[in-house]
Chain A
Amino acid sequence: MRLIIPLAITFTAGMIMILNFFIPHQPFRLLGDNLQEWFMIVASGAIFLGAMNLMHVHSRKIKLKLKNWKYSPVTIIGFLLMLVTGLIYGVTEHRPFDYLFMNVVAPMGATMFSLLAFFVASAAFRAFRASNWRATLLLTSAFLVMLGQVPIGAMIWDKIPLAKVWLMSIPNTAGQRAVMIGAAMGVVSTSLRIIFGIERSYLGGTD
């Protein structure tokens, strides 16, 4: 029973979504739309679970003085500050919540994003080492693409931008499409496995 009920729910929900994709007629469309709405409602409700988990984990860390507990008050204060300003003053423009979001949250997000530039450089340095013929091929392609992207590439040789376009639109697109087709096969196969109850390890067992 512990397995049958979740499997029955999974099968029913999965089949409804498949039928909804192929059949526009009622009741399939209505059922499909309703299921998607239910997910949104469940996900919205689950935000409280997340918030409670956050508070619980960090307050426990502070209470028991666990390793690195000193970071936890920062998290809790930040969380409560945003929550209280949002609840009291609203989240519209020129309110304290908006001020905190625009001047604290957004710049911190941008800072994290900007780190990507440095990480790309370090990863590229490792990836582009000409250790074997494949890596050399990668290095040459990357060099041509980068050179074709900037004006100096065309100044060196006017065919370099054309080579860049060819590399990006032919071999690169072919590779990406191969990955996408393979992934699509995987998605269909995994979905069928889960819907038909063949894959049930997420329920804690295969029996």
Chain B
Amino acid sequence: MNNLSTFLIFLLLFAAGTAPADNADQSESVVTEAAEEFRVQEAVDLEASDTEEDAGGSVSLTWHMEIAGIIPDSLGIMRSDPSGGEELIATLPEGFVMYNDESVDNGIEYSYWIVSYLGGTVEACSDRAVAVPSAQWIYKGRIGMLIILFLMAAVIIYYIESGKKGKELFIREIAGLEAVDDAVGRATEMGKPVLYVPGIADMDDIQTIASMVILGRVARKTAEYGSSLLVPTSRSVVMSVAQEVVKEGYIQAGRPDAYNKENIQYLTDDQFGYAAGVDGIMVREKPAAIFLLGTFYAESLILAETGRSVGAIQIAGTAMPSQIPFFVAACDYTLIGEELFAASAYLSREPKLLGSLKGQDAAKLFFIILIIVGVVSATIGDYWSPLKSVAEFLRKLVTVN
């Protein structure tokens, strides 16, 4: 009985003693959670690396922010170099998770860390990350493109040499280009002008350059036939180039006196302002032949339909896939995509240019084979893994990053 009483007393004392201890644990955990809650978020997983595929002088930083804690007002990017000097290189608003330091020298190791500001004071600091900036000599993602370019150049040069040696090169007939002479001849017979519209892009667009090359041929023809050539442009540089090209065409044809600079005029840079201006010329001058060759956007059908309404023979050409259907519907002849670029070679019939055209066709054949192999590999590759790697290789080869 005595033992039992002692045991009960001990049990009561133990219970009384342990209760405050539990309470202390609980309050300790509450304090820790509260401290976590009141701690300012810190940048974690900071990674510093040399910026890929650049000319050097740049380090890329990436990080995450802690999920728990108070959101800082801003973040400071700190940097130190081997001399030990520390400096704040940038202050970013809260929410940023990456930064490019463009103020570094190649070959030097830099150390970075990120501080979190709250109320203007540093409340948290990340771990450090180091990087050495350097310059790269090639864009890795463009090596495939480089190989293809070399192959294409080699094929084109081969066919140019073949052309120069007098080898007969077959080029399929392009109806739109065959009709150029007829169109200019028709305008001459009718005593009406020829209207040449070089599109709305500037001279840095390859389609405009191709258009200028064709303009030279058309200018020579109009000079030979004695018709008037009107060239309204939407870019000042294109106007200047067109003036020179047409002038040269007239000189080549032995008719420099027939060249009229005022016929190559600048209208406006505005897309629909230009369309309105060209439509006005079409309606007033009623040209017998209209060439729409170059880069066109939404104005293509407005121009082509107005040209059709005045009864002109129309030859259009563009590499803009979305505008080709409009030209096909409204024009007599349409040069589709590559045909625009082939026009110069086709019209001149020079062996060198025809050779390059033939080379272009050979390169296209190469790509057709590549596409077929790729499609077959990707399709069968789902069932037979070696072909999957072939498809993956081809995909990497033709992907440009």
CB within 8 Å of B: which residues of A? 18, 21-26, 29-30, 39, 42-43, 46-51, 53-54, 56-57, 60, 67-68, 71, 105, 108-110, 112-113, 115-116, 119-120, 122-124, 126-127, 176, 179-183, 185-194, 198-199, 201-206
B360 contacts A26, CB within 8 Å? no
- B225 CB to closest chain A CB (Å) equals 18
* Complex A-B: 20 CB contacts under 8 Å: A21-B142, A24-B53, A24-B136, A25-B56, A26-B56, A57-B265, A67-B284, A108-B276, A112-B272, A126-B329, A182-B338, A183-B319, A186-B338, A187-B319, A188-B363, A189-B152, A190-B209, A198-B160, A199-B213, A201-B348
B245 contacts A123, CB within 8 Å? no
Which residue on chain B has the smallest CB distance to residue A67?
B284
Given known A188-B149, A193-B356, contact A123–B330 (CB-CB < 8 A): yes
What chain B residues lie within 8 Å of A202 (beta carbons)?
Answer: 209, 212-213, 216, 241, 245
Given known A42-B237, A191-B206, contact A205–B248 (CB-CB < 8 A): yes
- B3 CB to closest chain A CB (Å) equals 87
Interface of B is mostly: helix
- A150 CB to closest chain B CB (Å) equals 20
- B323 CB to closest chain A CB (Å) equals 11
Decide if B302 is an interface residue (CB 8 Å cutoff): yes
What chain B residues lie within 8 Å of A187 (beta carbons)?
Answer: 206, 319, 341
B338 contacts A123, CB within 8 Å? no
What chain B residues lie within 8 Å of A189 (beta carbons)?
Answer: 152, 156, 341, 356-357, 359-360, 363
B301 contacts A43, CB within 8 Å? no
A123 contacts B305, CB within 8 Å? yes
Picked from B239, B305, B345, B353, the residue with its CB within 8 Å of the CB of A122 is B305
Decide if B382 is an interface residue (CB 8 Å cutoff): no
Decide if B326 is an interface residue (CB 8 Å cutoff): yes
Bound: A110/B302 CA distance, A: 13
Bound: A192/B156 CA distance, A: 9
Decide if B379 is an interface residue (CB 8 Å cutoff): no
Bound: A129/B348 CA distance, A: 37
A179 contacts B321, CB within 8 Å? yes
Bound: A50/B248 CA distance, A: 20
B236 contacts A43, CB within 8 Å? yes
* Those of B270-306 within 8 Å (CB) of chain A: 270-273, 275-276, 280, 284, 298-299, 301-302, 304-305
Given known A109-B271, A189-B341, A193-B353, contact A23–B276 (CB-CB < 8 A): no
Picked from A26, A116, A194, A205, the residue with its CB within 8 Å of the CB of B298 is A116
- A154 CB to closest chain B CB (Å) equals 25
Bound: A77/B24 CA distance, A: 88
Decide if B252 is an interface residue (CB 8 Å cutoff): yes
Picked from B54, B271, B337, B350, the residue with its CB within 8 Å of the CB of A186 is B337
B249 contacts A204, CB within 8 Å? yes
A22 contacts B341, CB within 8 Å? no
- B11 CB to closest chain A CB (Å) equals 77
A198 contacts B352, CB within 8 Å? yes
Which residue on chain A has the smallest CB distance to residue B352?
A198
Given known A47-B236, A112-B272, contact A119–B55 (CB-CB < 8 A): no
